[in-house]
Chains A and B, each alone.
Chain A
Amino acid sequence: MANTATRVRPRSSTGQEPRRQARAHRLFVAPTILAIVVLGAYPLLFILAGAFSDSTLGKPFRNWVGTENLEVVLADGDVVASIVRTVLYALGVSVVSVGLGVVIALALERATRSGAVVRTLLLLPLITPPVVVGTLWKLVFNPGGGLLDTLLRGVGVEGASIAPLSSTFWALPAIGLADVWQWTPLVTLLVYAALLTQDPAVREAASLDGAHGFSLFREITWPAVAGTVAAVFFIRLVIALKVFDLVFIMTSGGPGVASTTTSYVIYQVALKEFDIGRASAITLVFAVVVTLVTIPFAVLTRRLTHD
């Protein structure tokens, strides 16, 4: 470095310059690459090695067993059911969150007098720790005197107390409600930001041409934010597919396996049964499913944002 600077041959220094720059840039992205290696590549290799070997938590990679783990996992009805359950849950929760989020974002944009205070209040669920969100809704759903129970009694619903978290049908939707409560603000915020970047002149012109109400929304507003909505749906879907904290706190996967999501299955097999081989195989299968489920939305996002 120093000797290139002291050389008094300008031509060579111009040749040196880009190379030195390139070296600096490689150095700049090194920490980013390190992060991807430690949290992406290394766990993935670990899981690949685990999935094709006989592995426990104490003694990983004891011997090579080929596709045995994968065969066991794919034949396991509980695992397959958990993956189907997780995908349906994620799609349902994402549709509801994004729908509500878009409506609230539109309302925020139209209501000119909603200040920063309202926006901050609407954001609170987003920054609440998921463990607290789970605790909070568990208390709301508490059959003996929880908020839901009390409100229903208040409007005259009598009889047996309502206990959604101990019902095989309602446990997962109840977790979904907490999930929607927590993440809808993110949708609201991102869509609202996209609405603010619209050109007001375009809307003015359209409304002068007689478009207003729903037709204005369909012709002007929606095309302007469709790309953002698709991107937000993709983000929301990935977050929902990963759901763990809420299940852990609210139901522990119960009653039975009614609210057992795939993240929770992997947790049980890896850290309760210590069977790293099977847990890795489940993870691999799930990774393939996540990819297949999210690809259409990623492609849609790309198409809408680069048309």
Chain B
Amino acid sequence: MIDRSAARHRSALSYTVLAIALVVTLVPLLYLFSLSLMGRDETVSGILWTSSPKWSNWAEVIGTVIPLSIGNSLLAALGGAALTLVFALPGAWAIARFRAGGRTLGATLMSPWLLPPIVAVVPLLTLLRIVGLNNTLPGLAIVYALANVPVAVWLLEGFVRRLPKELEEAATIDGAGSWRTLVSVIAPLLAPSLVAVGIIVAILNYNEFLLATFLTQSADTQTFPVALSLFYGDRTPHFGKIAAASFIGVIPVFAAAVFFQRWLVSGLTAGAVR
């Protein structure tokens, strides 16, 4: 048996590690919040917390293009994620259960992910111009939808493999075809997993910057990361306003994370642990 003092010592060490990790994780975020409540002079005066916190930066940011850009981000992120699920679910099921597409599909599935997204910008820009969806949110949503299909298939495959085969077999014996089985047996069983993968993909879309910069150039289609990157425009930027804009834009993702914590974790770990 392990003697008690060693076990206690070990758990004390674990709590110390966690405490340090929490501090390092949270202090920068708290600093950002603190900055957002400071006036222009206070942000460069070397203080960590203002004695007279004010919400004027937040109010000013609400008056800029930021709220609209957050709306655009949400539209592109959620639209793209919904389409991704529609594309990926049948694929994941067919690959996991019937090895559809064979080894080639399995080997090439994640290959687009290996290269920097900058590689796809010019070809995609050309393609969107041809189909007339350049500089539109639907265009961006479709690009996001396709871009995340490999990741979604990869994650969903893990969930499909964990389903008991008997239910599908029973459906087949009852005379249901592949479509019928997919829609009435697999989709309902995978509902929690679909939610989990949907959230992950939506967050990836919401945070995406490079494609959004080139595929949505006008002020009315800009997504939040693009609008924030343009916030540095002035020669003497107001750090308080930048911090407020950053914080306001992060609220949707943080809210989603807190709200869907369990699904998020299960979705992220499904692919890795099989």
- The answer on a CB contact under 8 Å between B116 and A116 is no
Once A118-B18, A129-B207, A245-B209 are accepted as A-B contacts, the answer to whether A147 and B109 lie under 8 Å apart by CB is no
- The answer on a CB contact under 8 Å between B90 and A31 is yes
Smallest Cβ-Cβ distance to A242: which chain B residue = B116
What 1/0 mask marks residues of chain A from 236 to 265 whose CB sits below 8 Å from any chain B CB?
A: 001001101100110000000000001100
User: For chain A, which range describes its interface: under 10, 10 to 19, 20 to 34, or 35 or more residues?
Assistant: 35 or more
Max chain B C-beta neighbours (<10 A), residue from A39, A130, A139, A145: A39
Give the number of A-B contacts (CB < 8 Å): 281
Cβ-neighbour of A139 out of B31, B91, B119, B146 (below 8 A):
B31
Smallest Cβ-Cβ distance to A114: which chain B residue = B18
- Determine how close the nearest CB of chain A comes to the CB of B75; give it in whole angstroms: 16
Once A24-B177, A212-B2 are accepted as A-B contacts, the answer to whether A129 and B249 lie under 8 Å apart by CB is yes
Q: List the A side residues contacting B191 at CB < 8 Å.
A: none
Q: List the A side residues contacting B249 at CB < 8 Å.
A: 129, 132
Interface size on B, residues (CB 8 A): 95
State the majority secondary structure of interface residues on B: helix
What 1/0 mask marks residues of chain A from 110 to 146 whose CB sits below 8 Å from any chain B CB?
A: 1110101011111111011111100111011010110
- The answer on a CB contact under 8 Å between A190 and B268 is yes
B101 within 8 A of A: yes
Q: List the B side residues contacting A128 at CB < 8 Å.
A: 29, 207, 250, 253
A140 CA to B254 CA, complexed, in Å? 21
Smallest Cβ-Cβ distance to B95: which chain A residue = A29
A208 CA to B14 CA, complexed, in Å? 22
- The answer on a CB contact under 8 Å between A263 and B268 is no
Q: List the A side residues contacting B207 at CB < 8 Å.
A: 127-131
Q: Can you list 5 residue pairs at the A/B interface with Cβ under 8 Å? A: A28-B94, A38-B127, A103-B17, A107-B14, A132-B225
Instruction: Spell out A's residues near B (CB within 8 Å).
Output: 20-21, 24-29, 31-36, 38-40, 42-43, 46-47, 50, 57, 60, 100, 103-104, 106-108, 110-112, 114, 116, 118-125, 127-132, 135-137, 139-140, 142, 144-145, 147, 149-150, 153, 181, 185-186, 189-190, 193-194, 197, 207-208, 212-213, 228, 231-232, 238, 241-242, 244-245, 248-249, 262-263, 266-267, 270-271, 276, 279, 283, 286-287, 290-291, 294
- Pick the 4 closest A-B CB pairs, nearest first: A32-B91, A193-B269, A35-B149, A28-B90
6 more CB-based (< 8 A) A-B contacts, given A111-B14, A213-B10: A25-B94, A29-B94, A29-B105, A129-B206, A129-B253, A290-B114
